């Protein structure tokens, strides 16, 4: 297939891509509240004549083009974080405004822009009457912002839907990504002994123990080391919450807790990270636990997982990475910048947990994620649409 033909179609459909992004931005879709936007995307997929359209047991939308034996999955999560302080937004965060080559609103980059580009890529493949080696699946997944990868844990373990190759459309500024650090959450539980506030020496102040624990973890963060090839960089640990409680406001607090965000570089495991925290706290903590996520999604299906998300990366010479490079070269007549995300994606499950080869290519900038006045570039939408549509052809060229 000629890359010029794919490019021409992506350009032709650019206004549609931007308008579809605007449509789904205008539908708020916080984690667990995605039904309205899923239904809208379902309607759009049917209107664009996808070969198969269904909703899985957890609430994600699965749409297919082609009927090849191999499964190429292109994925966008369609839930978003909240808007935060609305006074920091220059306009309605759900306006979906399109002007000056930009689309505005919550989710524009993170990551409904990827979803809009996927819709157009499916339309392009239909126009080209794609009949290649792949069944190209476009997945619009839920609950990522709350628990990245759990939607794919459900698909793989419960529905036995196992991709051969996986593409995340999280924002990469139209660069090609091949990994990111993992992450986990931890709770540190601390105990003291309460006493009347007028005689604090009679008690053991859990708040003070928590403060010393937080400073110890600050020191632990400074000592963490990068991965051997320095591709993913160093792991990090940060205390994101500190709480202390006692019998009253006039009492020495007898319980405290720290909530921890830990980013894991290559070679760092859940067990290692927990032991590092225990060693750093030197008896200050009663226990260190990894919380379990069990918030129901919009379909109310009971499901959950531990808040641990493994690190992943794919070698530069892997056929999927090379397929992405070839796609970029053929479409855009230049070399892609091959890099990694700073944040975490559904790749933690697909590649980190299940070792399914994964790359990333998405419209918009990572720095726009969770920020006020979020935007994405219309030009990025066009590039991403072309990339997703041409990738199966490029992979077939590599595999012969």
> Which residues carry out catalysis?
79, 144
Question: CB-based contacts of 207: which residues, under 8 Å, 6+ apart?
Answer: 192, 244, 253, 256
Assess contact for 134 and 392: CB atoms under 8 A. yes
Q: What's the DSSP call for residue 335?
A: P
Q: Which stretch of DSSP H or E encloses residue 341?
A: strand 338-341
Distance CA(377)–CA(386), nearest Å, equals 15
Q: What are phi and psi of 35, to 5 degrees?
A: -55, -45
DSSP H stretches of helix in 32-173: 35-47, 112-127, 150-157
Structure tokens at 74: 């292109």
Question: CB-based contacts of 386: which residues, under 8 Å, 6+ apart?
Answer: 3, 6, 7, 9, 10, 121, 124, 331
Distance CA(157)–CA(387), nearest Å, equals 29
Q: Which stretch of DSSP H or E encloses residue 289?
A: strand 287-289
Distance CA(150)–CA(303), nearest Å, equals 9
Torsion of CA 41, 46, 47, 48, to 10 degrees: 90
Q: Which conformational region is residue 96 in: left (phi greater than 0), alpha (psi within -120 to 50 degrees), or beta?
A: left
Distance CA(169)–CA(360), nearest Å, equals 6
Structure tokens at 134: 């792949």
Question: Which residues are bridge partners to 239 per DSSP?
Answer: 260
Assess contact for 117 and 363: CB atoms under 8 A. yes
Residue 91 CB coordination number (10 Å):
10
Q: What are phi and psi of 132, to 5 degrees?
A: -85, -160
Distance CA(291)–CA(153), nearest Å, equals 17
Distance CA(114)–CA(118), nearest Å, equals 6
Question: Which residues are bridge partners to 55 per DSSP?
Answer: 61
């Amino acid at each position: 297939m000629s890359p010029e033909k794919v490019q021409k179609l992506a350009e032709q459909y650019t206004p549609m891509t931007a308008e579809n992004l605007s449509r789904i931005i205008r539908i708020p879709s916080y984690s667990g509240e995605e039904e309205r936007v899923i239904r809208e995307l379902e309607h759009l997929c049917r209107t664009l004549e996808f070969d198969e359209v269904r909703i899985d047991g957890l609430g994600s939308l699965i749409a297919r083009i082609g009927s090849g034996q191999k499964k190429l999955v292109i994925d966008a999560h369609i839930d978003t974080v909240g808007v935060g302080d609305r006074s920091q937004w220059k306009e309605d965060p759900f306006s979906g405004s399109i002007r000056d080559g930009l689309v505005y609103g919550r989710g524009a980059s993170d990551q409904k822009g990827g979803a809009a580009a996927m819709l157009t890529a499916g339309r392009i493949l239909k126009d080209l009457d794609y009949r290649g080696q792949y069944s190209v699946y476009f997945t619009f997944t839920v609950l990522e912002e709350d628990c990245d990868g759990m939607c794919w844990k459900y698909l793989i373990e419960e529905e036995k839907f196992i991709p051969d190759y996986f593409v995340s459309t999280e924002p990469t500024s139209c660069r090609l990504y091949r990994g990111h650090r993992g992450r986990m959450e931890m709770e540190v539980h601390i105990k003291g002994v309460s006493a009347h506030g007028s005689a604090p020496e009679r008690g053991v102040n859990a708040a003070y123990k928590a403060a010393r624990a937080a400073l110890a973890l600050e020191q632990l963060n400074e000592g963490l080391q990068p991965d051997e090839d320095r591709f993913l960089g160093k792991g990090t640990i940060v205390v994101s919450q500190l709480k202390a409680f006692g019998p009253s406001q006039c009492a020495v607090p007898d319980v405290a807790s720290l909530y921890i965000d830990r980013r894991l570089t290559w070679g760092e495991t859940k067990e290692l990270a927990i032991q590092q925290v225990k060693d750093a706290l030197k008896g200050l903590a009663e226990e260190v636990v990894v919380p379990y996520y069990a918030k129901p999604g919009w379909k109310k299906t009971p499901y959950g997982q531990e808040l641990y998300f493994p690190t992943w990366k794919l070698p530069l010479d892997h056929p999927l990475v090379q397929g992405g490079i070839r796609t970029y070269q053929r479409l855009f007549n230049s070399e892609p910048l091959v890099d990694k995300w700073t944040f975490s994606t559904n790749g933690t499950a697909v590649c980190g947990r299940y070792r399914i080869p994964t790359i990333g290519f998405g419209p918009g900038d990572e720095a726009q994620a969770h920020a006020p006045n979020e935007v994405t570039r219309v030009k990025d939408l066009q590039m991403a649409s072309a990339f997703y549509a041409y990738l199966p052809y490029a992979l077939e060229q590599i595999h012969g």
